[in-house]
Structure 1
Amino acid sequence: MSRTYLVTGSASGIGAATSELLTAQGHQVIGVDLRDADITADLSTGEGRQHMIDAARELSQGRLDAVIANAGISAPIPATVQVNYFGALATLEGLRPLLLASDAPRAVVTASMASLQPADEELLAALIDANEEAAITRGQALADAGPEVGYLNYSTSKQAIARWVRKNAPTPEWAGAGIPLNAIAPGVVLSPMTEPLVNSPEGRAQLEEQVPMPLNGWMPAESAAELLSWLSSPANTHLCGQVIFIDGGVDAIFRGDTTW
């Protein structure tokens, strides 16, 4: 049966691979991105988020079967927090009413193995409190301290969105409404976002040290797309609040047996 999906970050990387896979499966895909998409929207702004919601309601005729909140950036700047956290929240919460019209609604967000890396506690608190103004202020302070410290904008935003999924998935608004809400946490994905690192000896050495992936190394975007496809399909009936690390072993190396 054909379903209607909305995928953010659809113009490249995991979003493009997911959109192509779902389309090949016979589904309708509404893509959202800064360019080359059905809905052109900047999810770092309130105006862009509202435009996405309004346009999605119109294009879907008021019904979505699945939402894949995949859009994200990794730059060491506050906009990373605005897209990765507040943009993802607006996508999930803003489009949840459209999911309620589906017989088998599903929602997935792209987190990252970076959620296991160090986070900035002040920024994390602002995100958990949904205080975007405070988050931007703290994010700018981190950015001003240089790219290494500024990277905390990325890792903190990914930890925050993973924690939001864990907290909200079992609630009446999601599980109680029959909507499985989950996240994936990829390792290094070969995409335009990682290209500058992958294409330089220094970058490759840095990635290998910081993100050890013993199973098959760096992954193509298509691998993440396959997982997103299943999580957002009717076959996924009982996964609730899971952050699935599709990372070649990074999570197992970093956390060992601490899942218990």
Structure 2
Amino acid sequence: MSNRFSGRHALVTGHASGIGAATAKLLAAEGARITGVDRAEGRDVTDPAMWDALAPQLADIDFAIVNAGVSSGTPIVDIDLADWRRTQSVNLDGAMLTIRAAMRAMIAHGRGGAIVVTASISGIKAEAGTAAYGASKAGVIQLARVAAKEGAPHGIRVNAIAPGGVDTPMWDGADFFADMVRELGSRDAALAAMAREATPLGRWASADETARQIAFLLSDDAASITGAVLTADGGYSL
């Protein structure tokens, strides 16, 4: 394992599970100090007061991984407005507040930095039942692009990653996935069946694979990349 992030400070939201946990683990293994923000630990990304209180801890931040999110899978005609607002609040408002906090700190210390926003292929490709989630992730992609333009004069790079299917605990809260698990006999079998149907590569990504892609976008190897959206969907959007 390299030490390419040695002595650097990374903020990771949604770091308690899935892509966030895998990314925090990878960056820490490569020398970074991690500040994690997760609702399960009483830190809500949608709370401006929380970000104000956290600001002193972020004063020397080098990286931010904007990853906290919730899923939603309801047809438009059945969407409850409260659920719509909850999805936009966590996925889009939370992303804005995270980026704002990171950019404020990076501009103040003057060394620049790198930010990666976890979007989704749902923000690019339309599918029935994904209106709330897809709209929030489309918003996150544009937010990242605007942040990249505003951050560039300060040496701040901002990119997004748009995964397709990734094996994370987020699937476990979906009713249709629970039905597939019961029908096919195991979680692994359900994931494999979805991947075969949806992606030319015939497989989902692991959280660890996605973490390595995020780490690349943060690293000096991506020093000339900003405002980009890395599509990592196994060919689903083709």
The TM-score range, normalised by the shorter chain, is: 0.7 to 0.9
1:68-108 Cα shifts (integer Å, max 9, x gaps): 10111112422111111111011001221112226351111
1:50-65 counterparts in 2 under 5 A? 50-55=49-54, 57-60=55-58, 62-65=59-62
Between the aligned partners of 2:214 and 2:200, the Cα distance in structure 1 is: 22
1:87-146 Cα shifts (integer Å, max 9, x gaps): 101100122111222635111100001012338xxxxxxxxxxxxxxxxxxxxxxxxxxx
- For 1:111, the equivalent position in structure 2 comes to 119
- For 2:76, the equivalent position in structure 1 comes to none
Between the aligned partners of 1:74 and 1:185, the Cα distance in structure 2 is: 14
Once the 2 structures are TM-superposed, how far is the Cα of residue 207 of structure 1 from its aligned partner?
A: 3.9
1:117-196 counterparts in 2 under 5 A? 117-118=125-126, 149=129, 151-170=130-149, 173-195=150-172, 196=174
Assess if the C-alpha contact under 8 Å between 1:118 and 1:156 holds in 2: no
Q: Which amino acid aligns with 2:91?
A: N
Structure 2 spans left out of the alignment, 5+ residues:
1-5, 74-82, 185-189
Is the alpha carbon distance of 1:244 and 1:11 closer, same or farther for their aligned partners in structure 2, counting shifts above 3 Å?
Answer: same
Q: Answer yes or no: is 1:199 the counterpart of 2:181.
A: yes
| Aligned-residue CA RMSD (Å) | 2.4
Q: Answer yes or no: is 1:67 the counterpart of 2:53.
A: no
Displaced runs of 4 or more, over 6 A: none
Once the 2 structures are TM-superposed, how far is the Cα of residue 200 of structure 1 from its aligned partner?
A: 4.8
Between the aligned partners of 2:89 and 2:122, the Cα distance in structure 1 is: 17
**TM-score scaled by structure 1?**
0.74
Between the aligned partners of 1:23 and 1:12, the Cα distance in structure 2 is: 15
Q: Which amino acid aligns with 1:5?
A: A
SS, match of residue 235 in structure 1: helix
Once the 2 structures are TM-superposed, how far is the Cα of residue 50 of structure 1 from its aligned partner?
A: 2.9
Between the aligned partners of 2:71 and 2:202, the Cα distance in structure 1 is: 23
Assess if the C-alpha contact under 8 Å between 1:188 and 1:194 holds in 2: no
Structure 1 spans left out of the alignment, 5+ residues:
120-147, 254-260
**TM-score scaled by structure 2?**
0.80
Once the 2 structures are TM-superposed, how far is the Cα of residue 225 of structure 1 from its aligned partner?
A: 0.4
Q: Answer yes or no: is 1:91 the counterpart of 2:98.
A: yes
Higher helix share: 2
1:194-251 Cα shifts (integer Å, max 9, x gaps): 1352735486598448x72222511110011001112122332111110101111123
Identity %: 33
Between the aligned partners of 1:109 and 1:201, the Cα distance in structure 2 is: 35
What is the number of equivalent residue pairs in this alignment?
212
